[in-house]
Amino acid sequence: MKKDLVYLATVSCFVFASGLAQAAPEACHDQMQGQMCGQAEGMMFNRMDASGDGAVSRAEFNAFHARRFKELDANKDGKITLDEMNSGHKKAVGDLKRGGGDMKNNGTTHLDERFNAADANHDGGLEREEAHGMPMLSTYFDEVDANKDGKVTRQEYLDAMPLLHRAKQEKADSL
């Protein structure tokens, strides 16, 4: 059973990564087909890092792959056949090439989901208390709140991504 899960996780990463690499081949010219690079690698990491703390825990890794298993298991029999794997891969590549799937909204789908989940009162903005579930945003709340109204809007959050990514990288580099 454990070997099956390791195999599934490996294959799932390959299927997801190869779809992203094929969707943006010019960005991956030095990579072997199926290997992740640049933005694709970061997008996959961000999708797995549900807490936004700059690291993927075992629980986050397992949850990501459990969702991926459900997506690939088309007939819901608890098993993935080679046909289901290939079909899931083709669908992922097609979605990416059409601008859907993981690349929808210029790659902001995951960010939108996290922002919406944190927006407890559904007013379209995050107050300081709502941002506590997003550690980097919580830490840099004052810098991200560009108009200093005590709320971070979706646009302010998206505009601050370079700052948040830089801070996350500096934190990782210092460890």
- In tens digits, what is the pLDDT along the chain, a chain of 175 residues? 555 544 444 545 544 444 444 444 444 444 444 444 445 566 677 778 877 777 888 988 888 888 888 888 888 899 988 888 888 777 766 655 554 444 444 556 777 888 888 899 989 899 999 999 888 899 999 999 999 999 999 899 888 888 888 888 888 888 7
Q: How many domains does the chain have?
A: 2
Q: What is the rounded CA–CA span in Å between residue 143 and residue 92?
A: 36
* Residues 48 and 73 both lie in one domain: yes
* Residues 17 and 38 both lie in one domain: yes
| DSSP tally for the chain: helices H, then strands E | 10, 2
CATH number of the domain within which 159 lies: 1.10.238.10
* Residues 73 and 144 both lie in one domain: no
DSSP conformation class of 50: T
Answer whether 51's CB lies under 8 Å from 138's CB: no
* Residues 94 and 117 both lie in one domain: no
Asked whether residue 106 is assigned to any structural domain, the reply reads: no
Domain end: 75, 101, 127, which one? 101
* Residues 35 and 76 both lie in one domain: yes
* Residues 57 and 83 both lie in one domain: yes
Q: How far is CA 53 from CA 118, 133, 145, 171, in A?
A: 15, 10, 20, 10
Instruction: Report the residue count for the chain.
Output: 175
Quote the radius of gyration of the chain (alpha carbons, Å).
18
User: Which pLDDT score, from 0 to 100, does residue 4 have?
Assistant: 53
* Residues 142 and 170 both lie in one domain: yes
